[in-house]
Amino acid sequence: MTLQNSSIRKKSKIGSYVLLFFILLFTLEIVSYLFLVKYAYVTIYIKLLTAIMFIYSFISFYKWSKPDKIYFYIFLLFIVKLVIESIVNFGSLLAYPSVLAVIFPVLYILVIKNIFKNTAINILHVLCKTIILFYIIFMLFNIGDFGFNITSNVFMENMDEIGPYSGDARILHARTIFLIMLPYLFYLSKSLKKPSISNLLILFFLILIILLHQHRTVWVTTIISTFLFVSINNKLHRKIFLVGIIITIAIIAAFLFIPNLLDLFIDRFQDILDPFNEDNTSGWRYLQILSYIEYVIQKPILGWGMNGFNLPNPFIDFWEEGTGHHFHDAYIEIIFYFGIVGLFLKYYPLYKITKYMSLKKLSDNTRVLIVFCVSGLVFSFSYVPPLTFWGIVGVCLLYLEKDLKFIKNNAQ
């Protein structure tokens, strides 16, 4: 009987790994693009995933907690609104799926949180290992074509910033490098708890990745998340000094072995400190926000919905007609399409997570997930977080829920 139970548990664990891979890990662009190669195929996968999430939610939502059900019902109201707008104005059930993609993370968070509620696997550990492994594999496949060239700003033809590619010498898009922060925080936590050679070397490697890909938003987000993690961790002693040395060595090594990196850092941080300068990307984002204010004022509560897709781009019109709007600020994107109500709906889980950030009795893994999710609030000012991020938010809510339940049971 014991052997039979062990076999059942093993099969259940394997099933959980397979499920995790196809509905969360495969949303990593460095994973999906390695397997599917073409943007069109990845798009088909995302559409299938969306359909599966809807089907699963309708089948299983009755088992969810009351707050999750309410959250789900509000989401469905937005979907009904989108469908009605689409049928009435465009004669199609869903004329522009990219508008649905803006609000879809709400459902994705709920499904990820609930579908893995009874799993025995360490999701965070699997996530971190997968991100590191596929980053290495992806770079090995592409390094011959790109290479690191910090002085070059040549646009990579035919990339057009599709998928994981940045379209320039930085190789990978900020959305992908942002996700490197999760294993960074994971190994920062492990190094502070147990500063072994292997943990410190992996941490060193991850810091180099973040530095070398030269995304200022990721640099700023990493700095803020590091300070946050250190400030909420109540188990730190002298080990933080050792980890600080590793981080310093990684930065110095990057400066010594990569020509002009120091000058690049100075130049990029000057841009960060002067965010309203129209000549840098921060100023560009600021101008984009200002240009959309008039649209936002017209429909501030529920946004433009499906009707917003074809509105003239008020800022830059070099994107092809019929491709919608291309936002570099996640907050403006959600407000434009779904208004202030949509903003609160989409970012409410992050508010909920932030509330528990300083709770002392949380597990190390939950702390890592919380800080990473909170860092998404900063990242959202410059980019739209990838779907994978919202899946990780669902994982964080699951870990947090288990911790709070454990704390409550021990207090009784």
- pLDDT at site 285: 75
Other residues' Cβ atoms within 10 Å of the Cβ of residue 348: 15
Would you say 389 and 179 are in contact if contact means Cβ atoms under 8 Å apart?
yes
pTM of the predicted model, to two decimals?
0.88
Alpha carbon separation from 28 to 21, 40, 128, 143, 387 (Å, rounded): 10, 16, 12, 19, 8
Model confidence band, residue 63 (pLDDT cutoffs 50, 70, 90): very high
- pLDDT at site 236: 55
For the chain, report the end-to-end CA distance as a whole number of angstroms: 35
Taking the mean position of all CA atoms in its chain, how far away is CA 370? 13
Mean pLDDT value across residues 216-241: 77
Q: Is 386 left (phi over 0), alpha (psi -120 to 50) or beta?
A: beta
Listed by start position, the domains of the chain span 123-411
SS3 annotation, 138-182: HHHHHCCCCCCCCCCCCCCCCCCCCCCECCCCCCECHHHHHHCHH
pLDDT > 90: what percent of the chain? 46
- pLDDT at site 311: 87
- pLDDT at site 396: 97
| Residue 171 pLDDT exceeds 80 | no
Looking at every residue in the chain, the average pLDDT score rounds to: 82
Would you say 107 and 53 are in contact if contact means Cβ atoms under 8 Å apart?
yes
Say whether 412 sits in a helix, a strand or coil: coil
- pLDDT at site 155: 39
Token representation of residue 41: 């195929």
Residue in this structure with the two tokens 């990845």, named with its chain if needed: 42
| Residue 115 pLDDT exceeds 90 | yes
- pLDDT at site 158: 44
